[in-house]
Structure 1
Amino acid sequence: MEDLQAKHRKEQRDLQARITQKKKSATKKTRKGVNDECESWQRELLERQQAEIAQLDGDPPAEDLDDLNIADDSEAAATSDGLRDADSKTASPARSTTPSSSTLPSQTGPKKPSRQKARLARRAAEREADAAAAASEAANQVDRRSNEKEAMQAVFTRLALTERDIAPDGHCLYSAVATQLAEVGLGLRSAGSKNTEDLGADAGEQTSTSKVDGYKSVRQVTGKYVLAHADDFSAFIEEPLDEYARKIMFTAEWGGQLELQAMARAYGVEINVIQGDGRIEKFEPGDTNDEGERKKIWLAYYRHSYGLGEHYNALSQAA
């Protein structure tokens, strides 16, 4: 009996957890149906457990007592016309009797627990099918990171470019441009500036080609160029231009196409960006005296290969 009671307690805990999960997923439209289904589960469990206790005690369920008829072998044989003698109902309990199979309570248990097992089996099968579908989808999923690296490496090889890693810290675009400007022999001041004052007081001495601080100068030049050419950029910005420029100059806000265009014009340099699918996007410097003498720098733009998201690396041309 103790084992059965322990089993019943576990079944009640499991059912309560199942009901709690079911009600959490219910919506206003499905709440009534969910409540009805939960009550049905509780009723079915109670009925089945009561039947199991009664069977263990050797007592038939209360609703079957009126249908239980016991007759001895001799009296059953004497009533071939289908009628039983009234005295057979009071046969001595001391006599050995063999009840008719049609009068015994069912030994297979209530049908409702069987339906419950069928539902559980069906749900288990559905979960297995979902897991198999998810595994199949994962197996067929495109490896974007590997594809991106392969496509870009093919372009690097074709153009004789060597990749230089830049720290993925939010300043990667500006650091990569600063690195390449120094490599092609350009300073970090804008093409039209003659002294460090053109960069503003916050630029300070950041006109060197320092790998650590070079991005700061590039940020200053880029932000000030955007402010000075509001008509060219304001239509592409959804916030006040001065606020946008402030983020460029003084925060770690990521840069994109607008900033690349501003840098190309501010430094009078052509910026070529190799994309993850092998395409090359070019940003022109605008008016130049001699396009043949135009300086070019190269960057690699990644979408999928870095955990923090979009990233730029510098690319050096072979000597």
Structure 2
Amino acid sequence: MEDLLAKHRKEQRDLQARITQKKKAASKKTRKGVNDECAHWEEELKATHAAETAALNGDSGPSEEREIHVEEQSAEEDANGATETFSNHRTSTVNHSAVPPEDSGPGSAKKPNRQKARLARRAAEIAETSAKAEEEAKNQPDPRAKEREAMLAAFKARGLKEKEVRADGHCLYSAVADQLVLHDIGLRPRIYPTITGDGNEKSTEPFRIVRRTTAEYIKAHKDEFEPFLEEPLDDYVRKVGETGEWGGQLELRALAEAYGVRISVLDGNGSVHEIEAEGLEKNEATQIWLAYYRYGFGLGEHYNSLRKG
């Protein structure tokens, strides 16, 4: 659940960055359409997050569960009340006569329990809905297989080979570290020569150095990043530099600027997104390649390193 919530927070940040750029580019004539489109993106992401959370929890739906719970509680209260009433009536009858109540005979019929009947109907409806959803899911294309097929076609068309990195929350930084070593750029940019280990052997791992570099750049250029954050800058910087928080659009921007490179991200639909350091011509900036998967690994989002040849 913690990994899923971290994924949701990152997707929300990325969406806000995308919406901000979209609105900045809008004119007076297109502003209404842009606002409607951005609102649709937000509703779509909200629905996706709700569905993913429900799927992880194994929920059949909050409203259905609440209704079933209320009906169960009502049935239990009715049963308890009926038992207590019958007990009092029985005691009163024994004091006046040894003859049992008329409705206790073997031929008497029991009244149906309406609460239990409603509960049974609701359970049947839920089962039917689940069966239909499973059947529809079987007929839907597998997004993971479809994404992988598109990726392989894009690799072939662009002459790229993939190097997988571990899906552990550090994948973006591990993939960038691999690219930096591949192009002899170095993990410690000259603008941050003081970034070193802290005496712990793990602190010298390549992805950790790239993480700290990203955090230092964001902290040093807070005016560029703070408007897109939903939490205090210091807290965000700490997560980027010291935890396993996933990286996204903001971190890619910081990495491109800190290392003076052009980052080309190949998406699962075959498109390429360019993030380039400002003030550099395209032929001046070293190009590094990353593959971005939305469905292929674990909970979804993942970066791998790409190489020419």
How far apart in 2 are the matches of 1:221 and 1:22?
48
Bigger radius of gyration, 1 or 2? 1
Kindly provide the amino acid, as one letter, of the partner of residue 286 in structure 1.
E
The equivalent of 2:172 in structure 1 is 173
Kindly provide the amino acid, as one letter, of the partner of residue 151 in structure 1.
A
Aligned 8 A contact 2:195 2:209 in 1: no
TM-score normalised by L of structure 1: 0.58
Aligned 8 A contact 2:267 2:292 in 1: yes
The equivalent of 1:272 in structure 2 is 264
The equivalent of 2:231 in structure 1 is 239
Percent of residue pairs bearing the same amino acid type = 43
Residue number among 184, 195, 203 corresponding to 1:200 in the alignment: 195
Residue number among 70, 92, 104 corresponding to 1:26 in the alignment: 70
1:186 deviation in Å? 1.0
**How much is the aligned-residue C-alpha RMSD, in angstroms?**
4.1
DSSP-derived class of the 2:178 partner: helix
Aligned 8 A contact 1:272 1:283 in 2: yes
In 2 relative to 1, CA 24–266 (structure 1 residues): closer, same or farther, beyond 3 Å? same
In 2 relative to 1, CA 294–205 (structure 1 residues): closer, same or farther, beyond 3 Å? farther
How far apart in 2 are the matches of 1:265 and 1:130?
51
In 2 relative to 1, CA 125–221 (structure 1 residues): closer, same or farther, beyond 3 Å? closer
Kindly provide the amino acid, as one letter, of the partner of residue 304 in structure 1.
Y
Aligned 8 A contact 1:23 1:31 in 2: no
Which structure carries more relative contact order (alpha carbon 8 Å, separation 6+)?
2
How far apart in 2 are the matches of 1:247 and 1:230?
15
How far apart in 1 are the matches of 2:230 and 2:66?
45
How far apart in 2 are the matches of 1:267 and 1:239?
26
The equivalent of 1:228 in structure 2 is 220
The equivalent of 1:80 in structure 2 is none
In 2 relative to 1, CA 287–35 (structure 1 residues): closer, same or farther, beyond 3 Å? same
**Equivalent residues, number:** 228
Residues 299-310 of structure 1 aligned to structure 2 (within 5 Å) = 299-310=290-301
The equivalent of 1:189 in structure 2 is 188
Residues 1-319 of structure 1 aligned to structure 2 (within 5 Å) = 25-26=69-70, 123=121, 129-130=128-129, 132-190=131-189, 192-193=190-191, 198-202=193-197, 213-288=205-280, 290-318=281-309
Kindly provide the amino acid, as one letter, of the partner of residue 25 in structure 1.
H
Instruction: Name stretches of at least 5 consecutive residues in structure 1 with no aligned partner.
Output: 1-20, 41-61, 65-108
